[in-house]
Amino acid sequence: MDKILIFDFGSQTTQLIGRRIRESEFYSEIVPCDLKITEELLHDVKGIIFSGSPSSVYDRDAPEVDKRVYDAGIPILGICYGLQRIVKDFGGVVMPVGKKEYGRSRIFIKKAEDTDNKLFRGIDDGFSSWMSHGDALKDIPGQFKVTCVSEHNHTAAIACNKKNIFGIQFHPEVTHCEHGSDILNNFAGEICRAKRDWDVNRFYKQLYRDVKDKAGAHNVLVLISGGVDSSVLAALLLDAIDKEKVFLMYIDTGLMRKDETVEVTKQLKLLGAENLYIIDASGRFYTSLKGITNPEEKRRIIGDLFMRVQTEETTRLGIKDFILAQGTLYTDMIESGKGVGEKAHVIKSHHNVRSPLIEEQRREGRLLEPLSILYKDEVRALGEKLGLPDTVISRHPFPGPGLAVRIVGEVTEEKCSILREADFIFMEKLKKKELYGEIWQAFAVLLPIRSVGVAGDSRKYGYVLSLRAIISRDGMTGRYDSGCLSV
């Protein structure tokens, strides 16, 4: 099968590149950027993409690539850091800029007669791109020509047609980049001449095979949160392996949404779960979080206690010979610094990724995370295929640590109760206005301040809430929704 190989330099959106390529029916694989170039690695590879990176090419420990890749005769496309890596490797100069480019930026395509601008064939001039960089190209290597510039007059794209090497400063993989998929299609289809022989059903079949192989003869324990990810995982496991081998455990941390326990119990029974356990550990979580204000510390405490409760309860219930399954998504992994290679930075530690107890199980191969290369909307599509109702599939993302990370400052039972009710009212208003389905994620945040108001004819001194709503497709980029201000 023809393959587009993506070298991961640690970008938050590397998997998004692969996803966009697969959406256009080209097969793609992601590998660490520092792999040794061999004939075996490049077998069936029709094109190579260098991802972005949190690093700068002039950093002492900047990620590099085996330079033999440039002589392999395979077309290369560098994105953001990938472009800068190419420029530096060919003798050009990359420098920090005074004003960073982040977000939307117009791109203007150069019309030079001696430049075959095939990467941008069929693309409108002045299209809106998505930038995320603090460095710019100062000197372009002699073999390359500038093919695009940004509205801030920075070099936005270069090409060396003789070697079929291209570079772009913006991110075509994010949905807020106009013509992003068209640019990637031009590279994979027109420049690399790769065949379109990938389809999502093939992926689903492979996913089922992987789940069966990993589970083997073991029992599988799933920690259910009530969110989309764990619900889809439960449905997948109940569909892929024997139901009596699937054990579903819902731990009520006291940090859940309103009526979460009731809704989760009802939904899991509809899925045909035979082994379902509802554990109330809310008191333990409130006690452990007493006096804690740092968000990362909250996440660590919740993650570790979650695993301790799970271990205690499985022992008490006599559940043996099991592996743990989690609805971990790619966004959870990459934000926690778990990219394909070792170059990704930690944005925030997801409790189901970086907890020491989880790390230990992952190292020992006792963790099943079949959704970890998927994004939220892809998981929703899988849930639809598995027959889950829209009330489950369309739920807004909810953090694993629950309301604890939506409370700024110390977590108390009183604050959770206030926030739970506020969140419920907010969601109901959005649904009534038919905005809920248009929004990727909306939620309320309890701020660590109080203000005076009037309730009836009396003075009221209460907490202040902040309401937030964003529009996105895959959760990697987003914008706020001003329409929510009118609810």
The answer to whether 396 and 439 have CB atoms below 8 angstroms apart is yes
Q: Which pLDDT tens digit goes with each residue over 277-311?
A: 999 999 999 999 999 999 989 988 998 898 899 88
**Of 173, 178, 260, 369, which is the active-site residue?**
173
Q: What is the pLDDT of residue 372?
A: 80
Residue 143 has pLDDT above 50, yes or no: yes
The answer to whether 42 and 74 have CB atoms below 8 angstroms apart is yes
The answer to whether 16 and 169 have CB atoms below 8 angstroms apart is no
Residue ranges, CATH 3.40.50.620, the chain: 200-393
Give helix then strand counts, H and E, for the chain: 13, 17
Position of tokens 């029992």? 219
Helix axes 356-363, 295-317, angle to 10 degrees: 60
Beta strand spans in 343-394 (E): 367-368
| 80 is an active site residue | yes
Task: Report the CATH superfamily, name and number, of domain 200-393.
Answer: HUPs (3.40.50.620)
**Of 133, 171, 176, 351, which is the active-site residue?**
171
Residues 424-439, mean pLDDT to the nearest whole number:
92
| 179 is an active site residue | no
Global pTM reads: 0.67
Residues 25-37, mean pLDDT to the nearest whole number:
89
Fold of 412-486: GMP Synthetase; Chain A, domain 3 (3.30.300)
Residue 331 has pLDDT above 80, yes or no: no
Non-local (6+) Cβ contacts of 419 within 8 A are 403, 406, 407, 444, 445, 446, 465
DSSP class of residue 305? H
CATH 3.40.50.880 given to domain 3-191? yes
DSSP class of residue 161? T
The pair of three-digit structure tokens given for residue 242, joined into one six-digit string: 């024997």
The pair of three-digit structure tokens given for residue 465, joined into one six-digit string: 């809430």
Q: Which pLDDT tens digit goes with each residue over 343-387?
A: 544 444 444 555 566 666 667 667 888 888 777 778 888 888 888
Residue ranges, CATH 3.40.50.880, the chain: 3-191
- Residues present in the chain in total: 487
Written as one letter, the residue type at 248 is L
Higher pLDDT, 106 or 332: 106
Residue ranges, CATH 3.30.300.10, the chain: 412-486
| 173 is an active site residue | yes
